[in-house]
Amino acid sequence: MRVHVADHPLITHKLTVLRDQTTPSATFRALTEELVTLLAYEATRHVRTHEVTIQTPVAQTVGLAISEPRPLIVPILRAGLGMLEGMVKLVPSAEVGFLGMVRDHDTLEPSVYAERLPDHLEGRQCFVLDPMLATGGSLLAAIEFLFERGADDVTAVCILGAPEGLEMIEKATAGRDVTIVLGALDEKLNEKGYIVPGLGDAGDRLYGTV
Ligand code: PRP
Ligand code: URA
């Protein structure tokens, strides 16, 4: 598994405002989108391309184009929806599929309540969007779902991660082509499965449910 943790003052600055409990939902949504665009730059480092020859007004040159089949972007509802615009802005030719998941507040077990993905993902590169990688249960379920459908390469973009979840996913996906890009790797999980220091419940903060 490849792991990339962002190390950039602009990202840390935006994360600091995002974490602040006084930041209102509208600002939280805008910052989430900006952060995803910055993280997407790293997440797409291995996007599959092929050479194309084009003619500029001055000369013929060889460049790169994103290859077929198109990458698939999969936001995990609800909170991952807040990351979608930031990602599609950077990869406008990508297809978008959806997975709805919620984790039980007591057991922390995730369950799937909605799914709208292509049936066959052979040869597809998939980009999963979920702001929080806590126990890792939700992200692992999403990654397994995509591999079962035939995907051969999955990259997850998360705003914050906890070491416990990262370690669990690393063990469970050994030998698979998995990349995780994080805005920050936090200290730990608390007894309720929240990331510490974290930012609270990402879905609630995005959609004003607090
Ligand atoms: C949050 C978050 C992740 C999950 C992370 O979603 O967006 O999907 O929890 O926790 P885990 O790593 O322990 O599985 P939640 O279940 O609260 O649903 P929501 O997006 O609808 O708020
Ligand atoms: N889900 C969230 O929204 N926040 C956490 O800290 C953990 C899981």
Q: Determine whether the shortest distance from the Cβ of 193 to ligand 1 is under 6 A.
A: yes
Residue 208 pLDDT level (bands cut at 50, 70, 90)? confident
Which residues constitute the domain of residue 166?
2-207
C-alpha separations of 70 from 73, 76, 106, 118, 174 in Å:
10, 19, 38, 12, 25
d(CA 192, CA 97): 30
Q: From ligand 1's centre to the CA of 94, what distance in Å?
A: 24
Residue 126 pLDDT level (bands cut at 50, 70, 90)? very high
Q: What is the DSSP letter of 70?
A: P
Q: What CATH code is carried by the domain that includes residue 165? A: 3.40.50.2020
d(CA 7, CA 4): 9
Which residue has a Cα nearest atom 5 of ligand 2? 194
Closest ligand, as measured to the CA of 198: 2
Instruction: Please state the domain count of the chain.
Output: 1
Q: Global pTM?
A: 0.96
CA angle, 96 then 53 then 72, to 5°: 10
Q: What is the DSSP letter of 116?
A: E
Annotated binding site for uracil: 195, 200-202
Residue 210 has pLDDT above 80, yes or no: no
pLDDT tens profile 50-85: 999 999 999 999 999 999 999 999 999 999 999 999
Q: Determine whether the shortest distance from the Cβ of 155 to ligand 1 is under 6 A.
A: no
pLDDT tens profile 20-37: 999 999 999 999 999 999
Residue range 107-113: average pLDDT? 94
Residue 183 has pLDDT above 80, yes or no: yes
Write down the pLDDT at residue 151: 95
Q: Determine whether the shortest distance from the Cβ of 198 to ligand 2 is under 6 A.
A: yes
The percent of residues above 90 in pLDDT, for the chain, comes to 98
Q: Determine whether the shortest distance from the Cβ of 194 to ligand 2 is under 6 A.
A: yes
Q: Determine whether the shortest distance from the Cβ of 195 to ligand 2 is under 6 A.
A: yes
Residue 209 pLDDT level (bands cut at 50, 70, 90)? confident
